A and B are shown apart, each in its own frame.
Chain A
Amino acid sequence: MSEQEARPVAEIVDALYRAESRQVLATLIRLLGDFEAAEEALHDAFAAAVEQWGRDGVPANPRAWLVSTGRFKAIDGMRRRARFDASLTEFAKQLETAATEPEEPDEESVEDDRLRLIFTCCHPALSPDAQVAMTLREVCGLTTEEIARAFLAAPPAIAQRIVRAKAKIRDARIPYVVPSEADLPARLDAVLRVIYLVFNEGYSSSSGDSLLRHDLSGEAIRLGRLLIRLLPEPEAMGLLALMLLHDSRRAARTSPTGDLILLENQNRRLWNREQIAEGTTLVERALSTGRIGPYGIQAAIAAVHAGAPDPAATDWVQIVALYDVLMRADPSPVVELNRAVAVAMRDDPSAGLALIDAILERGDLTNYHLTHAARADLCRRLGRTADARVSYELALKLSRQEPERRFLRRRLDELSESGKRD
């Protein structure tokens, strides 16, 4: 076979690997009952495809071909090993019997396999770190090195985490199933938490060495889309909407030098209109089910911001009302803080300041840099420069992220300058 003839097949296989390898893997895990065996079978199947398709042509249903080839390769391998380990003989026989039944995977069972894979990777019996690593590795197909770079971790540490998670899935027999209706809400929460964690990791690190890091926000949005296609639950829609609406501001939220730009100072023409439209439609869909949860409510708040052509046009009455709903659905001091800031905008800075001081007096959020940054900002607007300075300095002491620290220092400098002018 000449180079020219071989090339298109390699390209076809390559494209198929990118588009379908995760589906094929998800089905192989179900058929073989083991992650390691399924991954090995997946690679064997694609290797066989490069070889055989060049000779015999591409089959009519490449995915089904890959699944059945992978399965037979796994049975072969098990038979070979069975010569040394008698206990494998019986297992290989069982697999073979199952394999002779015609398996033409229909769309529905393929999608179920993908859901099984997502729920297994996000199983609460795995540690949260392991859930994230497993989801990125198995569902998204990132390499261990890519995951390590994205989380600024050492590749062996990530590899170890994945090996341990797979061992626990096998040893504790974590089932490869879509959870029952009774368990679904709690288990879906775990999946959404993993996706949002991946998104935030990507979103908050969009500076410095971000070019080297995998686009985690984009990956999370792709995961969100996959999830609502497989399982159109209102909170899954809410989360996707929330991610899209946050991501729509990506180009506007940092200056060319990597400095943070607050929502009120962003150039709204840089906001991604397509993402805003898609996010807003999703919020409306989630709202119309009447079963909206914390992600959907937060998305609704983001949609109100996105709908304002300029900061002065922001509907703060509606935003405070939505925070009230959020406080009932998912109360936390952080939500209370955000609500306080919205109240400051709706009424006046002193109303917001009273609410923030009440949180701090209770002993909540005292070590959270954003509490002090918000307090500082309200004091500054009230002309209480000395109080503002104390709070900015506290925020600076507690903040870890460089762009945020630069922003706080700039604010402190501005206070000094206005002080001189007075």
Chain B
Amino acid sequence: MHYMLLCCFAEAAWTALPDDEKNRIMREYGALIRGLAERGRLRGGGRLRSTSSATTVRVQNGRPVFTDGPFAETKEQLGGYHVVDRRDLDEALSIAARIPTLPAGGAIEVRPIDSVEERP
């Protein structure tokens, strides 16, 4: 089953980290991602640009309405995502728990992805 790991982090807290700390976390991150890719567990993912570059689209009275910013203003923002292919939730959670930004804060939301061909 495919799971999406949504990486939420307070952008301000990340920016405030010292550079060598950021570099160390990103090196660890790179190793984790390479490892997952080598074992065929990674199906996609990416780092999102800051929420200041986000635009939200809604439809009101039949017309699209575009607003500046993410869909919800919260303390933490969606900063990136990974799609992993694992057998069950426990395996997906164990990858999520190893994401190197977590000790510095934030949260990972794990969501199963519905896929039509996978249904019994």
CB pair B112–A173 under 8 Å, yes or no, is: yes
Q: Which of B65-73, B88-96, B99-107 is found at the contact surface with chain A?
A: B88-96
CB pair B93–A125 under 8 Å, yes or no, is: yes
Which of B90, B93, B94 has most A Cβ within 10 Å?
Answer: B90
Categorize the interface residue count of chain B.
10 to 19
Interface SS of chain B: mixed
Complex alpha-carbon distance, A30 and B88, angstroms? 14
CB pair B120–A174 under 8 Å, yes or no, is: no
Contact with A along B56-88 (1 / 0, CB 8 A): 000000000000000000000000000000011
Please give, as numbers and ranges, the residues of chain A lying within 8 Å of B94 by CB-CB distance: 183
Complex alpha-carbon distance, A172 and B93, angstroms? 11
Count of chain A to chain B residue pairs whose CB atoms are closer than 8 Å in the complex? 29
CB pair B120–A171 under 8 Å, yes or no, is: no
Complex alpha-carbon distance, A171 and B2, angstroms? 11
A88 at the binding interface (Cβ < 8 Å): yes
Interface SS of chain A: loop
Since A174-B88, A174-B90 are in contact, a sample of 11 more A-B pairs with Cβ atoms closer than 8 Å, ordered by chain A residue number, is A87-B120, A88-B120, A94-B120, A171-B112, A172-B111, A172-B112, A173-B87, A174-B89, A175-B90, A177-B90, A183-B94
Name the distance in Å between B52's Cβ and chain A's nearest Cβ. 32
Please give, as numbers and ranges, the residues of chain A lying within 8 Å of B1 by CB-CB distance: 173
**Contacts of A72-126 to chain B: CB distance below 8 A:** 87-88, 90-91, 94, 125
Name the distance in Å between B86's Cβ and chain A's nearest Cβ. 9
Enumerate chain B interface residues (CB-CB to A < 8 A). Answer: 1, 87-90, 93-94, 110-112, 119-120
CB pair B90–A87 under 8 Å, yes or no, is: no
B87, B90, B111, B120: which contacts A90 (Cβ < 8 A)?
B120
Enumerate the 9 nearest inter-chain pairs by beta-carbon distance, A residue then B residue, closest first.
Answer: A175-B88, A91-B120, A173-B88, A172-B89, A174-B89, A172-B112, A175-B90, A173-B1, A173-B89
**Contacts of A161-218 to chain B: CB distance below 8 A:** 171-175, 177, 179, 183
Closest to A187 in B: B90
Enumerate chain A interface residues (CB-CB to B < 8 A). Answer: 87-88, 90-91, 94, 125, 171-175, 177, 179, 183
Complex alpha-carbon distance, A125 and B120, angstroms? 23
Closest to A34 in B: B120
Please give, as numbers and ranges, the residues of chain B lying within 8 Å of A94 by CB-CB distance: 120
Please give, as numbers and ranges, the residues of chain B lying within 8 Å of A88 by CB-CB distance: 120
Which of B87, B88, B120 has most A Cβ within 10 Å?
Answer: B120
Please give, as numbers and ranges, the residues of chain B lying within 8 Å of A174 by CB-CB distance: 88-90
Please give, as numbers and ranges, the residues of chain A lying within 8 Å of B120 by CB-CB distance: 87-88, 90-91, 94
Which of B1, B88, B111 has most A Cβ within 10 Å?
Answer: B88
Complex alpha-carbon distance, A172 and B89, angstroms? 6
Please give, as numbers and ranges, the residues of chain A lying within 8 Å of B112 by CB-CB distance: 171-173
Please give, as numbers and ranges, the residues of chain A lying within 8 Å of B89 by CB-CB distance: 125, 172-175
Complex alpha-carbon distance, A177 and B1, angstroms? 17
A91, A171, A172, A175: which contacts B87 (Cβ < 8 A)?
A175
Complex alpha-carbon distance, A90 and B93, angstroms? 29
Closest to B117 in A: A87
Please give, as numbers and ranges, the residues of chain B lying within 8 Å of A90 by CB-CB distance: 120
Complex alpha-carbon distance, A86 and B114, angstroms? 19
Can you list 20 A-B pairs, Cβ within 8 angstroms, ordered by A?
A: A87-B119, A87-B120, A88-B120, A90-B120, A91-B120, A125-B89, A125-B93, A172-B110, A172-B112, A173-B87, A173-B88, A173-B112, A174-B88, A174-B89, A174-B90, A175-B87, A175-B90, A177-B90, A183-B90, A183-B94
Name the distance in Å between A281's Cβ and chain B's nearest Cβ. 35
Complex alpha-carbon distance, A231 and B25, angstroms? 39
Please give, as numbers and ranges, the residues of chain B lying within 8 Å of A173 by CB-CB distance: 1, 87-89, 112
Closest to B94 in A: A183
